[in-house]
Amino acid sequence: MGFVDEVKFFVKAGDGGNGCVSFRREKFVPRGGPNGGDGGRGGSIFLEADPRKHSLIDFRYRSHFKAQRGGNGQGSDKHGRSGKDTVVLVPAGSVVKDAETGQVLVDLIDPGQRFTAARGGKGGFGNARFATSTNRAPRKATPGTVGEEHWLKVELKLLADVGLIGLPNAGKSTLLSRLSAANPKVAPYPFTTLAPQLGVLQFKYMDPCIIADIPGLIKGASEGVGLGHQFLRHVERTTILLHIIDAAGEEDRPFADYQVLVRELEAYNEELRDRTYLIVLNKIDCIDADRLQEVRTMFTDRGLDVLAVSAKEKTGIDNLKEYLADILEEQRELAKQ
For residue 293, the model assigns a pLDDT of: 93
For residue 64, the model assigns a pLDDT of: 95
**Complete domains list, the chain, with CATH:** 6-156 (2.70.210.12), 162-336 (3.40.50.300)
3-state secondary structure the chain: CCCCCEEEEEEECCCCCCCCCCECCCCCCCCCCECCCCCCCCCCEEEEEECCCCCCHHHHCCCEEECCCCCCCECCCECCCCCCCEEEEEECCEEEEECCCCCEEEEECCCCCEEEEECCCCCCCCHHHHCCCCCCCCCCCCCCCCCCEEEEEEEECCCCCEEEEECCCCCHHHHHHHHCCCCCCCCCCCCCCCCCEEEEECCCCCCCEEEEECCCCCCCHHHCCCCHHHCHHHHCCCCEEEEEEECCCCCCHHHHHHHHHHHHHHHHCHHHHHCEEEEEEECHHHCCHHHHHHHHHHHHCCCCCEEECECCCCECHHHHHHHHHHHHHHHHHHHHC
Q: Is the pLDDT of residue 266 over 50?
A: yes
Q: Is the pLDDT of residue 198 over 80?
A: no
Q: Is the pLDDT of residue 193 over 80?
A: no
For residue 231, the model assigns a pLDDT of: 64
Percentage of residues in the chain having pLDDT higher than 90: 45
More confident residue, 236 or 125: 125
User: What mean pLDDT do residues 218-231 have?
Assistant: 52
| From 146-155, 211-220, 247-256, 269-278, the region with the lowest mean pLDDT | 211-220
For residue 308, the model assigns a pLDDT of: 92
User: Residue 13: which pLDDT band, with cuts at 50, 70 and 90?
Assistant: very high
| From 187-201, 203-217, 228-242, the region with the lowest mean pLDDT | 187-201
Q: Let me know if 274 is exposed, middle or buried by CB neighbors in 10 A (0-12, 13-18, 19+).
A: exposed
For residue 189, the model assigns a pLDDT of: 42
Percentage of residues in the chain having pLDDT higher than 70: 88
Contacts (Cβ under 8 Å, ≥6 apart) of 335: none
CB of 252 closer than 8 Å to CB of 301: no
The residue type found at 101 is T
User: Residue 187: which pLDDT band, with cuts at 50, 70 and 90?
Assistant: very low
For residue 307, the model assigns a pLDDT of: 92
Q: What is the pTM of this model?
A: 0.73
Q: Is the pLDDT of residue 181 over 80?
A: no
Instruction: Report d(CA 53, CA 34) in Å as an integer.
Output: 52
For residue 3, the model assigns a pLDDT of: 63
For residue 1, the model assigns a pLDDT of: 41
